[in-house]
Amino acid sequence: MVNRMSFVDTRHGTLNSYQFSNGNTLPYAGVPFGMNYIVPQTDDQSTIFFNPTFPVFQGFRLTHQPSPWMGDFCSIMMTPITGQPNGVSLDALRSSYHRETAVFKPNRVSLTSQQYQLNTTIVPTKRAGQIVIKQKNNQSLGLVLSSDQAMTVERGLSPHHLLVTIKQPVRDGASTLTFYIQYVFDAPVSLLSYQEDTWQSVDTATTGPVWVQIANEQNEATISFGTSFISAQQASYNLDQEVGHLTLNDLAARSQAEWNEFLGKIEVSDRDEQKVQAFNHYLYRLFLFPMTFYEESKEGEPIHWDMYNERVSAGVYFTNNGFWDTFRTVYPLFSLIIPERHQEMMSGYLHVYREVGHLPKWLSPDERGIMPGTLINGVIADAAVKGILTEDMMTEYLQAMIQDANIPAKDAKFGRAGVEDMLNHGYVTTAHRENVNQTVDNTYSDFAIMKVAQLLGKSKIAKTYRQRAFQYQHLFDPKTGFLRGKDEMGSWREQFIPEDWGFDYTEGSAWQNAFGFYHDVAGYMELIGGREAFLAQLITLANEEPIFGIGNYGMEIHEMSELSVANMGQVGISNQPSFHLPYLYTYAGRPDYTQHVVKQLCTHLFSTDVDGFPGDEDNGSMSGWYVFSQLGFYPVTPGTGEYVLGIPQFDEVTIHLLNNKTFTVETINNYPQYSFVDQVTLNQTDYQRLFITHEQLMQGGQMTVRLSLLPRTRTYSNDQLPYSLTTDTDIETKR
């Protein structure tokens, strides 16, 4: 069996700054969708706390950080040392390490400290893990514990045990989340706290850092740990269940098998082995988020800490996910390769609704309320049309979506922005920031409500939200050909330059953000004057200089820099609103343009190196774009059950589906210079549609794609083009 995990170096995409993103990723070690991850830390002065080029590290961070823009919560630093600590700061404890011999794998991290002559290997499990420290010199071993949050360290049940509790404010300080860590050492330990300029022995330390002396008789120490957001007893239980008497090698082998199971969901083969290895890097990123936030009781039932009611509640729960990013690619891919896990996640998000009263938008760990829209609606509709949600789940989700579409939330973090504007004017006015994005995202979410209502046979609701799904058209300005900001009187914002960022748009200009009508491309096409006019606008989009105006941002933000450096016109693939742009040419009957642009983006903007992404990776969303684009199809409109065909870029792809079925994509003439699709067959039958359905994929089969040096000119009928609401005239249709 191929060890696909061995292809992955988790430092991929980790060379970043606040000024420029090559992914803004971290080298997470853990298991797929873990509750904790381990990352070596090189800098404690930034949320970008790992730099792959910096050969000095401060220790190992147990982290829950989904993005540098969100920050961490309930984290702890663990710094192995010999002798007495050089000081109390992490900078004083730092040590050099050899980057070329360090191990950065999905299931483990292993570094050798040059100052202390220690090799430390950590293998995390879902809620626990094990640390093995080996030294070359016969000196006393120690572990320094520190945290950015309030931390208490106390002796445990025996001289081998320590209990750490970390207090994290949540809900804007309205309550506190407590994180418990039970440490079990293979030798007795003593606890020292730095007080009055000296290290003093204590039974309990309430200020950090804390020096743990390990009374090891050998040049090696083994430390097992279990964690919990529920209680100290639960942390011990998690430790027993996930580590028990297993060795580090046992745990690493088990985790490796789990990673290989996930990475093996899509098998690729190609004459270029580097492409194969690169693909596994991107797949790895897809299985990190959302993170698990539930545990198992002694009865084997899922339980979690309810942050809003401050109690233990039944059921699964997930966190560290922003739906504005992930609805586009992550969940559509989950629906294809891990639908059973996808259903579990959707069950977890229902618990958020039951406890909070609103559907989640950006959880970390509680609702953070950033980014436009309620785009979990797209995830819900997509899961519904693909048969992942039960009828009861759809019914409850429909109720939740309708509530957020019509009732303004008391707390602005929740629900939609501009609800009253949408009800009164049919669009979000310029009184709200990012109003164009808010409007188009709201109308797409209304489309999602329509789709779920259709499936439940609620035709009246479906008709209402079908009408609302067209309201993005209120913002179309025929003079400029863009969706623009309007005030409550119906007047356009006075100044309009398509390249100016901000104001009415999110992290971009009109070029990146005024095409967010995922569900109704044909409707927009009619507004702008037909296929040729739409195509002309898209050609300008690609050929326009990658220039920008800083708008109301007041400075050049990193997304502007990334657009410019990518040098792919105004196709800002570096950020989520542009993800679908390369596929819009297909709606205008020019799939050859889509094929060329997608291949150029994949070839020139992605790599396996530390600068491997053209912008923020964002919880698997950009990796999802790359994976779909490499496979040869892309979910422009989650909720339709369709994928727009692109250009496959491997000699062969095998997607492993449920019930031991497979779907294979074979590419003939798969050469770098061949950028166009000449012919497609599905199960040996000529295939003329420019999309493929989820149902077709899940049935299994083989698609064969022949590439060519130049494209053929073809004409496509409406039924060969991807879904648009305007051309979906049957309100009862499930398409």
415 dihedral zone (left: phi>0; alpha: psi -120 to 50; beta): left
pLDDT mean over 435-464: 98
Per-residue confidence at 729, pLDDT binned at 50, 70, 90? confident
Buried b (16+ CB within 10 A) or exposed e, 404-440: bbeeebeeebbbbbbbebbeebbbbbbebbbbbbbbb
Cis peptide before 290 (omega within 30 of 0): yes
Quick one: pLDDT at residue 561?
Answer: 98
Give the pLDDT confidence score for residue 695 in this predicted structure: 98
- Give the per-residue pLDDT at 732: 55
3-class DSSP state of 410: coil
Cβ neighbour number for residue 109 with a 10 Å cutoff? 24
Q: CB burial class (10 A; 0-12, 13-18, 19+) of residue 489?
A: exposed
The 10s digit of each residue's pLDDT in 700-727 is 999 999 999 999 989 999 999 999 999 9
Question: Residue 647 region, left (φ>0) first, then alpha (ψ -120 to 50), else beta?
Answer: beta
Give the DSSP letter of residue 712: P
Please give the pLDDT value at position 735.
Answer: 41
> Residue 512 pLDDT more than 70?
yes
Check: pTM over 0.85? Answer yes or no: yes
Question: Cα dist. 300→238, 272, 305, 315, 319 in Å?
Answer: 11, 46, 16, 11, 21
Cα radius of gyration rounded to whole Å, the chain: 26
- Which two three-digit tokens encode residue 524? 């927009």
Strand 302-306: give its sheet, edge to edge. Answer: 295-296, 302-306, 311-314
Query: 206-231 in b/e burial notation, b at 16+ Cβ within 10 A?
Result: eebbbbbbbebeebebbbbbbbbbbe
Q: Mean pLDDT for the chain?
A: 97
pLDDT band of residue 663 (cuts 50, 70, 90) is very high
Taking the C-alpha atoms of 617, 619, 624 and 625 in order, what is their torsion angle to the nearest 10 degrees? -40
pLDDT at position 731 is 58
Overall average pLDDT of the 276-304 stretch: 98
pLDDT at 734: 46
Count CB-CB contacts under 10 A for residue 477: 17
Residue 602 has pLDDT above 50, yes or no: yes
User: Domains of the chain, with CATH numbers?
Assistant: 17-263 (2.70.98.10), 318-652 (1.20.1610.10)
Omega prior to 365 cis, within 30 of 0 = yes
Q: What is the mean pLDDT of residues 615-621?
A: 98
Contacts 24+ apart (CB under 8 A), 462-470: 462/731, 463/731, 465/405, 466/725, 466/731, 468/405, 468/422, 468/443, 469/443, 469/444, 469/519, 469/520, 469/725, 470/443, 470/520, 470/523, 470/725, 470/726
- Closest C-alpha to 33, from 285, 229, 307, 328: 285
Parallel/antiparallel/unpaired status of strands 118-124 and 210-214? unpaired
pLDDT by residue (tens digit) across 397-416?
999 999 999 999 999 999 99
Token representation of residue 470: 């067209």
pLDDT number for residue 95: 98
Phi, psi (degrees; rounded to nearest 5) at 61? -105, 125
* Residue 142: Cβ within 10 Å count: 23
pLDDT confidence of residue 218: 85
pLDDT at 157: 85
Angstrom distances, CA of residue 709 to CA of 585, 666, 673, 678 = 19, 18, 7, 9
Tally of CA atoms within 13 A in the half-sphere of 588 that contains its CB? 24
Q: What is the dihedral sign for C-alpha 488, 490, 491, 495?
A: positive
Q: Which of 8, 46, 7, 656 is nearest to 285 (CA)?
A: 8
Convert the pLDDT of each residue in 130-186 to its tens digit: 999 999 888 899 999 999 999 999 998 899 999 999 999 999 989 999 999 999 999
* CB neighbour list of residue 88: distance below 8 Å, 6 or more residues apart: 194, 209
